[in-house]
Structure 1
């Protein structure tokens, strides 16, 4: 008995035969279609997408974050949320100390002179 390779074509030549674009799989009693990713050469799980910047498939793909330099997906949601939370705290911290600095300087010199002498004016040309 001769075993034929799956890519064996009827006329006797061998050639590449691409995999089917979808595969139906039963998960918890429900039929789910899995799409094939030709770049990664895998059947992607549900809610997975291929990121063109990272060049890989990401499960529960949300977006590619340029500030983190990574895709936001299933395994790093908590790290992304912690990044956003810490960035928010840093922004509030800086804003509170800038306001405190301007208020303390305005008691000495007046509000307009405090704004004129504040560190935020240095990138601008002298008035």
Structure 2
């Protein structure tokens, strides 16, 4: 292996060490690399699986539509507990008490749907 090959393979090995999913090319197909991988020195045969990108909701309609995809409906979670959403406005969401309105950006960063999915919209 030369230095240029090492530079190309280093991010793959780093991602593998961090627990990210690595794909390896076999002929024209890509498959998941196993946890006990024996790396071939050809860096072009490997790639890091792209994680989906999410963004905060832009308005109440978008939030409502996405909420309907997650069960149990209206429940979210954070490191400090589970909560039921009781109100949605165009720029804020409410759970718990009448005066607990938080903006979509904050909710995106701090909460997840109860199924573990990011509390936001998946961008394609």
Same fold (TM over 0.5): no
TM-score computed with the length of structure 2 as normaliser: 0.25
TM-score computed with the length of structure 1 as normaliser: 0.25
Report the structure, 1 or 2, having the larger helix content: 1
Larger Cα Rg: Structure 1 or Structure 2?
1
Report the structure, 1 or 2, having the larger strand content: 2
